[in-house]
A = this chain, B = another copy of it.
Amino acid sequence: MKYSKLLGKTAKNDSKGSKFASQRYLTRGGFIKESTAGRYSFLPLGWRVHEKIKAIVKDEMDKTGAQEMLVPTLHPLEFWEETNRTNSVGFELMTVKDRREAFFALGGTAEEMFVDVVRNLHLSYRDLPFTIYQFSNKFRDELRARGGLLRLREFVMKDGYSFHTDKEDFENEYQVMSDAYARMYKRIGLDALKVAADNGYIGGEYCHEFQVECDLGEGRFFVSEDGSYCAHEDIATFTRDNKNLDEPLQKYQVVDAVRGTTMEDGVKFHNLPLWRQIKDVLYATETGKLVLAITRGDLDINEIKLAHVVSALSLRPASVEEVKSLGSEPGFISPVGLAGKVTIVADPSLRTTVNAFGGANALNKDAININIDRDYTADIEADIAMAQDGFLSENGKSLLIEKKGIEVGNIFQLGLHYSTKMKDANFADSAGGQTPYYMGCYGFGLARTLATVVEKHHDDKGIIWPASIAPFAVHLVSLPGAEDFATSLYEELLKADIEVLWDDRSVSAGVKFADADLIGIPIRLVVSSRNGEKVEWKNRADSKSTLMNREDVLKKLLITE
């Protein structure tokens, strides 16, 4: 391809000063163009990379025996009502009405559609197991789009679904898919960690995210130093260290406490350590039910954990009025005396201290020597606290390290979640009965993965593409006086089926070199009158270049291929 003919050249001031290298370089490099916030066009250069990633994903999926197909983008809304996902999805569903007044959801994921196809085929155990997948546009009505391709409102996703007779059969495929994903990321040039995660809006009992470590990533997870444990913050467990269990219990006492309403104010006022304080946070669920979450003062509440524990779809901080409706006061809430008025959920960390202090449900009144069981009881005791860097792992063997990452894929156990909610999602079992499918689901976002590669493979001049997904294998730069040589080399490369981008423009060497660095094709070849019949070979990732004979260049390229 001649660069002069390529639609979408490099641009100088088109980065909007984003903190994300991928957004800056992909935009400036002429790979993508923003349409509206969160919706991008892929220009030809970017599309080449996108399609190379797609080919790798397809290849690895097909190697496992998975079968590609396609379901419509517009999903009859009644399917989402069957599974109650019109209410529960984590992303806002976009809906559309046709001229016949039929309602459709714009597919965000396609579990219902695949189940609908399968249930209508009336299969038997002999047809199982199978994994089917598609590449198709997904729509998410995200509140905030972010970082160019990192959080989009529309993107191509590979979504796969597996159907099984039972749990054991599913677990085998879950491992097969996990291994296939590992191979995909490796081929694409990413080190992806498999992180146990919360299953969120998809349903099912467990899932894993593939996270690529990145300080700008939105994902927060914990890895144990010994490498045996890796989990997303929303499910990460840890050992709560004992603080003062050897102290004898002291008498519960209410004291005057003219102080501010923060945890820090409590610590200062009583001159006691933070861990000795009880942290009380009052939430309201989507139905208005009040939940009092309490934990040791040095820990934070994880709202996702809490929502699961109380089976809420969403939680919001309670209002001042709601706090007062319990006969309490903001900044002075206490579980003592609230039994029956509110669901009290206690983190197990409250059993690592005695003689705690905290509010007393009245303005400027605190209690000291508060003890669980004696002074209050919880309706639910469960892990609702956030792990932190340096905490001991749950098995007590290793410290947890906090990591930030970009989620580039995920795999889900769905179990019977969809097949029991949707009518007739059964297969004829070997005993002559009807059994619901045991299912799994496997997602892979192509655009985000592409952007993540750029986050991991760039320097201050531009992108450094891994060869496997580079838009072209070779960037040929011709300088004045070498036009004929360039033409003949270009044609020779094309004939040898080497993907080459030839910068054939009449611009300065400096501009061409800067553009080559920005675009990031792995191998740069320069021909110039100064170099005569020699070709200058430079790898994008290296600083040194080598002068080579033309035949050697060809030989080396064919080996590199």
- A-side residues, CB < 8 A to B, are 4-9, 33, 35-36, 39-44, 46-47, 50-51, 65, 67-74, 76, 92, 94-96, 98-99, 102, 106, 113, 116-118, 120-121, 126-127, 130, 132, 136-137, 139, 141, 143, 153-154, 156
Contacts and interface: CB of A to CB of B under 8 A. Distances in A.
A245 to B, nearest CB: 50
- Copies of this chain per assembly: 2
Contacts of A51: 68
Given A35-B71, A72-B154, 18 more contacts: A4-B126, A5-B130, A7-B67, A33-B121, A35-B72, A36-B72, A36-B76, A41-B69, A41-B72, A42-B70, A44-B67, A44-B69, A44-B132, A46-B69, A70-B156, A74-B139, A96-B106, A136-B137
A98 B141 contact: yes
Contact of A73 (B4, B65, B137, B143): B137
Contacts of A116: 35
A44 B71 contact: no
Contacts of A136: 137
Given A42-B69, A73-B154, A102 B36 contact: yes
Contacts of A102: 36
A7 B41 contact: no
A36 B102 CA distance: 10
A383 to B, nearest CB: 33
Contact of A121 (B8, B106, B121, B139): B8
Nearest to A131: B7
Given A96-B95, A96-B96, A7 B139 contact: no
A311 to B, nearest CB: 26
A5 B154 contact: no
B98 A153 contact: yes
A113 B51 CA distance: 21
A446 to B, nearest CB: 11
B98 A69 contact: no
28 contacts: A4-B127, A7-B67, A7-B69, A7-B130, A7-B132, A8-B121, A9-B127, A33-B120, A35-B76, A35-B116, A39-B74, A41-B71, A41-B72, A41-B113, A42-B70, A43-B117, A44-B68, A44-B132, A47-B70, A50-B70, A70-B156, A72-B154, A73-B139, A73-B154, A74-B139, A94-B96, A99-B141, A136-B137
